[in-house]
């Protein structure tokens, strides 16, 4: 965007001043130089024919004597209009009489002129500052945490024990720097907290502020990004200048990717952000001393950060704050449950096992939803039923009982979900069945929920093939028991196809071998496959999906009675848990 030059801005300011002066006749009135005279002198001058000219003003007279002297005379209100004989007598004597609307200038007029000029000058100067990129914007880059108001400590952070140990070392150094200096080591200059949203990065930083007992300056990456040139860099300088006033200090920058995004590319629209990033790089590891200053930043997009920001000497450590395991989830639930009234039958360990993949924020939301359910039911404590209901709500969505479904749609939905459930129970490598429902939740008309017995970090071929078969079980049940398929299997087909594609193209789980095949949807330069290879990939994906469909059909055909019983139970009760499903099928899980 083109910015006006300095000369252009001064010209604009001068033009504004001229227009303002021209628009104010009060300010352009000439300043009178005649002295004041008493009214009695004016009467004597008239009597002795010493008046040569007279100008009638709004609240006085401007008298010009025959000697050439001029004087201002204040007259009583209405005096001239009430004495027409005086005007006639002056006219007979040859006195020139004029009438003017001007009023004599006073000290108020001079003050008005001064204030107007000051206002116009300030306005023009502000325009000049904006046009040259030095806008009058607050030059603060960070806020100091009130340590007395931060009650979060390491005891309030659970599920990320390794990350706590990494940052605890920094806190210990800031408290007792001599402990590390005896060996010759130095504290890391920067620690980058990396992890998906909701894993507790900001909470961990707050606990550092509560534990460190040193000044804690915190800011957000977006605080340094402005449309005016130089503002972001100046805020970085101010932030580190404030930090250097203390022997030891912690600077926390949340969402650092807003300012630390990798430089380069063809776009020229991010010059201000790159200047801000350059200033941050210099402040973290430049000529200015930074002893005792530790920079802690948090991001969930470490892959887009600039390489110069991640090198040793700036962010020396990258602390991964990932999803907690079952033990971590149990500890997180215990921390958040301190503020809740729990019934004696609550088993937080069982809840932790049933919430794989949940983040700390998800678990906090789970307990809060359970507390709301207990409140709506007028219970004085949260029960196990409230936790189960809250988990279903978080994982499957809110029940939409107001949605009207025809009998045909309900029957199709019941057989569809029964098909998923029966295949899930029959396959030993599939996750255990938890609940089946035909109550609409979220965007789905029905749901089959499976819960793994333990956290999964890698997936075997048998597990993935079982998942494809479970997904295809719904559509297969519709065709076997209703004689036609519906559009309700669209999402199942999409998920099964994507799973098969990843097995072939990423996991090497096909006869094509352990090769990574990049498809045109990867948006990678030169990612396209040859026509023959692409056809082979499509064939393998087709085989995997159709194999899962065939497995599902065999299971459903063999257990027709069980599917019928489950579908009828769903039509009658709308929701059936996993144990009831296994009882209906009379086939316990292998």
Q: Is the dihedral of CA 396, 398, 403, 406 positive or negative?
A: positive
Following CA atoms 160, 164, 166, 170 in sequence, which dihedral angle do they give, to the nearest 10 degrees? 160
Measured from the Cβ of residue 144, the count of other Cβ atoms closer than 10 Å reads: 12
Cα 320 off chain centre by: 21
Residues 6 or more apart from 469 whose CB is under 8 A from it? 423, 427, 430, 548, 549, 551, 552, 555
Q: 417 an active-site residue?
A: yes
- Of the residues 272, 369, 417, 465, which is catalytic? 417
CA-based nearest residue to 417, from 476, 372, 371, 329: 476
How far apart CA 159 and CA 208 sit, in angstroms, is 16
How far apart CA 36 and CA 104 sit, in angstroms, is 10
Q: At what angle do helices 107-131 and 6-22 cross, to 10 degrees?
A: 150
Q: Which two tokens stand for residue 250?
A: 């912690």
How far apart CA 254 and CA 234 sit, in angstroms, is 18
Contact indicator for 317, 188 with CB cutoff of 8 Å: yes
- Residue that the structure tokens 């021209």 belong to: 22
Measured from the Cβ of residue 335, the count of other Cβ atoms closer than 10 Å reads: 18
Contact indicator for 448, 424 with CB cutoff of 8 Å: yes
Q: What is the DSSP string of 434-483?
A: EEEE-S-BTTBS-EEEE--SS--SS--HHHHHHHHHHHHHHHHHIIIIIS
The residues assigned a catalytic role are 417
């Amino acid at each position: 965007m083109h910015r006006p030059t300095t000369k252009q801005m001064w010209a604009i300011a001068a033009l504004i001043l001229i227009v303002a002066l021209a628009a104010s006749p009060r300010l352009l009135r000439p300043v009178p130089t005649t002295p004041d005279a008493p009214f009695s002198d004016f009467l004597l001058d008239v009597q002795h024919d010493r008046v040569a000219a007279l100008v009638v003003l709004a609240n006085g007279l401007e008298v010009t004597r025959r000697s050439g002297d001029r004087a201002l005379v204040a007259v009583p209100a209405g005096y001239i209009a009430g004495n027409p004989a005086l005007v006639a007598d002056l006219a007979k004597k040859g006195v020139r009489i004029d009438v003017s609307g001007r009023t004599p200038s006073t000290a108020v007029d001079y003050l008005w002129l001064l204030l107007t000029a000051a206002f116009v000058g300030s306005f023009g100067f502000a325009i000049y500052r904006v046009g040259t990129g030095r806008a009058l914007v607050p030059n603060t880059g960070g806020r100091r945490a009130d340590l007395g108001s931060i009650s979060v400590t390491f005891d309030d952070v659970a599920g990320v024990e390794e990350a706590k140990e990494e940052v605890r070392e920094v806190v210990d150094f800031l408290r007792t720097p001599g402990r590390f200096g005896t060996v010759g080591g130095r504290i890391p200059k920067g620690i980058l907290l990396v992890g998906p949203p909701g894993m507790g990065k900001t909470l961990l930083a707050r606990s550092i502020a509560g534990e460190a007992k040193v000044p804690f300056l915190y800011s957000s990456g977006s605080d340094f990004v402005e449309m005016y040139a130089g503002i972001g860099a100046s805020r970085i300088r101010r932030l580190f200048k404030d930090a250097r006033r203390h022997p030891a200090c912690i600077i926390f920058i949340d969402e650092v990717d807003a300012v630390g995004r990798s430089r380069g590319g063809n776009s020229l629209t991010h010059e201000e952000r790159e200047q801000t990033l350059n200033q941050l790089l210099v402040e973290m590891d430049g000529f200015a001393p930074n002893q005792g200053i530790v920079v802690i930043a948090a991001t969930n997009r470490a892959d887009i950060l600039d390489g110069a920001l991640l090198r040793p000497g700036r962010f020396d450590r990258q602390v991964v704050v990932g999803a907690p395991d079952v033990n971590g989830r149990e500890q997180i639930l215990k921390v958040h449950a301190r503020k809740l009234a729990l019934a004696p039958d609550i088993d937080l360990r069982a809840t932790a096992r049933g919430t794989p993949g949940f983040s700390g924020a998800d678990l906090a939301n789970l307990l809060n939803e359970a507390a709301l359910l207990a409140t709506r039911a007028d219970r004085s404590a949260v029960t196990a039923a409230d936790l189960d209901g809250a988990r279903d709500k978080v994982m499957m969505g809110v029940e939409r009982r107001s949605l009207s479904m025809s009998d045909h749609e309900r029957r199709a939905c019941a057989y569809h979900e029964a098909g998923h459930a029966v295949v899930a129970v029959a396959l030993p490598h599939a996750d255990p069945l938890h609940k089946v429902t035909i109550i609409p939740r979220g965007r789905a008309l029905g749901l089959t929920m499976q819960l793994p017995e333990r956290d999964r970090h890698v997936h075997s071929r048998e597990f993935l093939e079982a998942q494809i078969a479970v997904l295809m079980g719904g559509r297969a049940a519709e065709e076997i028991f209703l004689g036609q398929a519906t559009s309700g299997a669209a999402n199942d087909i999409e998920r099964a196809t994507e799973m098969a594609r990843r097995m072939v193209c990423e996991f090497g789980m096909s006869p094509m071998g352990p090769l990574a095949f990049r498809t045109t949807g990867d948006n990678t330069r030169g990612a396209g496959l040859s026509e023959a290879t692409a056809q082979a990939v499509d064939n393998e994906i087709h085989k995997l999906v159709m194999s899962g469909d065939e497995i599902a059909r065999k299971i459903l055909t063999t257990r027709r009675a069980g599917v019928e019983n489950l579908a009828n139970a769903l039509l009658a009760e709308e929701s059936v848990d996993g144990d009831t499903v296994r009882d209906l099928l009379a086939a316990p899980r292998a």
